[in-house]
């Protein structure tokens, strides 16, 4: 499986047929959708809660849940559930579809943000209120780890 850049759009293009490729393409299909705190899920963009209640879109875990649902793999609806949805892989092993976690609040254990790998250098992310789903660099100072979800049909890591 590989990712490249589309000549016409300049956006990443993911080739391949496996669950990770399907997932990465689903996330890329949501570029430009507004961020909505608590919004989105397996069915797509949705109205959030709190400050996201008037915006139809995705928060970070809603986007990744949606993308993996398209491949038939439940990963959970929160960042914490997704953090436990598969096997940890090293930064060097990142493949399209892997869940990439960030910990911006070290005093509170666990990840606060999740994005979906397009390749070893880029992720699709729903960053924060006022922004839209976009492609961003994978590498950040607060990178916590990478999880490769387990496909239920196989019962193994994809």
Ordered DSSP codes for 35-51: B-TT--BTTB-EE-SGG
Contact criterion met (CB below 8 Å) for 61 and 79: yes
Contact criterion met (CB below 8 Å) for 24 and 97: yes
Cβ atoms within 10 A of the Cβ of 80, count?
Answer: 15
pLDDT digits (tens, 9 = 90+) for 10-63: 678 888 889 999 999 999 999 999 999 999 999 999 999 999 999 999 999 999
* Sheet strands (E) in 34-133: 46-47, 56-57, 86-89, 99-102, 113-117, 122-125
Rounded to two decimals, the pTM is 0.90
Q: Check residue 150 and give its pLDDT.
A: 86
Domain boundaries of the chain, sorted by first residue? 13-149
CATH class (in words) of the domain with range 13-149: alpha beta
pLDDT digits (tens, 9 = 90+) for 101-144: 999 887 888 899 999 999 999 999 999 999 999 999 999 999 99
pLDDT, greater one: 158 or 142: 142
């Amino acid at each position: 499986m590989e990712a490249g850049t589309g000549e016409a759009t300049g956006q990443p293009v993911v080739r391949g047929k496996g669950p990770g490729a399907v997932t990465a393409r689903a996330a890329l299909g949501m570029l430009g959708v507004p961020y909505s705190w608590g919004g989105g899920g397996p069915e797509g963009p949705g109205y959030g809660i709190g400050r996201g209640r008037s915006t139809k879109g995705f928060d970070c875990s809603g986007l990744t849940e949606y993308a993996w649902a398209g491949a038939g793999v439940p990963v959970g609806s929160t960042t914490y559930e997704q953090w436990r949805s598969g096997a940890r892989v090293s930064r060097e092993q990142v493949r399209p579809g892997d869940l990439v976690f960030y910990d911006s609040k070290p005093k509170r254990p666990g990840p606060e943000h999740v994005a979906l790998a397009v390749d070893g250098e880029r992720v699709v992310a729903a960053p924060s209120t006022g922004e839209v789903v976009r492609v961003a660099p994978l590498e950040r100072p607060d990178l916590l780890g990478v999880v490769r979800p387990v496909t239920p049909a196989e019962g193994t890591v994809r």
